[in-house]
Amino acid sequence: MSKRLGLNIGGRHFDVDVEESFAPFLEQQMKNDFNMEGSNDLKILLQAYVRKSHTLFLQEQKIEEIVKKIEI
């Protein structure tokens, strides 16, 4: 089953269908990053993308550290 989440960016409405188990997490993240009631400009979207990419970068660094410790 899936759930539909919507967001307004640059005056246009976009819907995404995600797995129901993932939807609460994504919805909370979207609330943290975007104005869910109004429109968001492209700058806000880019900032959110950069923040999430940085988080992923840090997670991958941490995983690599853990793997190196395990291999020793």
Are 34 and 6 spatial neighbours (Cβ–Cβ below 8 Å)? Answer: no
What is the pTM assigned to this prediction?
0.80
Please write the tens of the pLDDT for every residue from 30-44. Answer: 999 999 999 999 999
Q: Where are the alpha helices (DSSP H) in 1-72?
A: 23-33, 42-71
Contacts of 13 (CB under 8 A, 6+ apart): 6, 7
Q: Which domain holds residue 66?
A: 2-71
Number of domains in the chain: 1
Q: Is residue 72 pLDDT above 90, yes or no?
A: no
The span from the CA of 49 to the CA of 30, in Å, is 11
Please write the tens of the pLDDT for every residue from 50-67. Answer: 999 999 999 999 999 999
